[in-house]
Structure 1
Amino acid sequence: MKTTPDCICDGKAPWCSVCLVSVAFRMRNEHPDTLSVSMLKRRIPRLTGREAAILLEATQRLPARRNGGYVTRSPA
């Protein structure tokens, strides 16, 4: 994995938060409409479902996020 100047893990697991976010954004660019929690969990080692959901929402494009344009589902 190519690292950023802010990386503190040198691209080795366990990844730092900078690497986690950069991988999530890279995956969002590769899969703009189909990125899912399970895809993030397969690609990022030791990522929980909750963390993957947060990354998934954080990488949404702005038009999808504004004015409550998307709805998160509760696990009920």
Structure 2
Amino acid sequence: MAITNFILTVVGVGAVAMLMSKDLKQSSAMLRRNMRHIRTWLEEQGAAAERTAQQEIKQVKAPEPKPEPPKTDAPK
């Protein structure tokens, strides 16, 4: 009876360890895939924001400098 309980315990612990390692592998693979998608989305959004900023810069004209009044060297 004791040997049967020992064998069942070892098999149970082994099964749990195997399932946990498989679950960890799947979770880490899913995390890597999600991070890849998020990185792609961020790069796309960054590129779109840069294009928008470039278009806005082209639309804005620099103000023309005001001419300075002529200087007079009149005695005081």
Higher relative contact order (CA 8 A, sep 6+): 1
Q: TM-score range by the shorter chain?
A: under 0.3
TM-score (norm 2): 0.23
Query: Which structure is larger by alpha-carbon Rg, 1 or 2?
Result: 2
TM-score (norm 1): 0.23
